[in-house]
Amino acid sequence: MLRLEARAQPSRALSIASPLLALAVTVLIGIGLFVMLGKDPLRGLQMFFVEPLKSGYALSELSVKATPLVLIALGLALCFRANVWNIGAEGQFVIGAAAAGWVAMQAGPGTTRWIVVAILVAGVLGGMLWAAIVALLRDRFNANEILVSLMLVYVADMLLSYLVYGPWKDPKGYNFPQTITFDAATKIPRLLPNLRANVGVLVALAAVAGMWVFMFRMYRGFALQVGGLAPLAARYAGFSSRSALWTAMLVSGGLAGLAGALEAAGPLGQLTPYVPAGYGFAAIIVAFVGRLHPVGIVFSAILMSMFYIGGELAQSRLGLPKSLTGVFQGLLLFTLLACDTLINYRVRFGRRKG
């Protein structure tokens, strides 16, 4: 008889090993999927775990995918540690991209490269504004932030569609729903010529360092996390739950908006209805696989980016559906949740003692 027995203390070793175990189980299930689809499993795994790392160009593309995931997941990790469940980072990403795009479209012949700073600031402010709506409704009316933030994702998507189909549509774009191509002065500077990796990578790494300092070396970050773990103890110590809510939401929204600005003025170079790429939802998985720790988030974002690129390669080279990317992402999340059970419980075989 198989049963779960509660541990006296949570297992620290399994807390660290659980993401690795979840990845191993995901790979095993993935092999089974490739076999069922009639594809060579080794070839399929190569698409996901080898091809995204085998050349400088591949690593550049990996950084393009990983940068927004890192930024958004950092903000979500702060929210989740504070017990604020921001599920709408995708909407904050979209509004950040739209705000940054509006600034980029103001560029003219005499515009200097300093406009990039204004573009990034606009993205941050756009994301913060969208997150502030959630914080305000939670603060004033005790609305559920999960539902509010999630519903605002669809509002953001519709607002972007209205803009690119209407007032912001390129008059010379052959009636396609897109804005004008942004001026060269507004583009995010690239790290190397002929590669798409840009300074967003450095921005993301700086955000990782800053978030680590805030979470683990600053009084404000400590107070915010205590409020999430033990609200009554935080209230007794004089920590404000209201302040924690606003801080977590504004920081999370700002980072998501920054990711949107980097995406709009970086790889995309214009706004289209396809700006929402699912990064805001994938970053939830990234945050939890990374154990809500800034350093862990970097590695989990790289892994998730490999899934994105591997899914595209599997579609083009193996004829598999692009939805396979979402399958691997979902498998990783569910296997992680299953493996996390072993942190507090141990598996026992045999009959239960009377």
More confident residue, 238 or 121: 121
Query: Checking phi first, is residue 3 left (phi over 0); if not, alpha (psi -120 to 50) or beta?
Result: beta
Positive or negative: CA dihedral 337, 259, 270, 168: positive
Query: What does the domain layout of the chain look like in residue ranges?
Result: 1-44+324-343, 63-317
Tens digits of per-residue pLDDT, 294-334?
999 999 999 999 999 999 999 999 998 888 888 999 999 99
Distance of alpha carbon 263 from the chain centroid: 13
Q: Is 238's pLDDT higher than 80?
A: no
More confident residue, 240 or 287: 287
Per CATH, is 63-317 categorized as 3.30.420? no
278-315 as b/e, with b when 16 or more CB fall inside 10 Å?
Answer: ebbbbbbbbbbbbbbbbebbbbbbbbbbbbbbbbbbbb
**pTM score over 0.85:** yes
For β-strands 2-6 and 345-349, DSSP reports them as: antiparallel
Write down the pLDDT at residue 352.
Answer: 59
Taking only the tens place, the pLDDT of each residue in 96-127 is 999 999 999 999 888 899 999 999 999 999 99
The band of 11, judged by pLDDT with boundaries at 50, 70 and 90, is confident
Q: Look at residue 7 in the predicted model and tell me its pLDDT.
A: 87
Q: Is the pLDDT of residue 227 over 80?
A: no
Burial level of 30, CB count in 10 A (0-12/13-18/19+)? Answer: buried
What is the per-residue pLDDT for 351?
A: 65
> Average pLDDT in the 3-18 region?
86
Rounded CA gap, 337 and 297, in Å?
Answer: 17
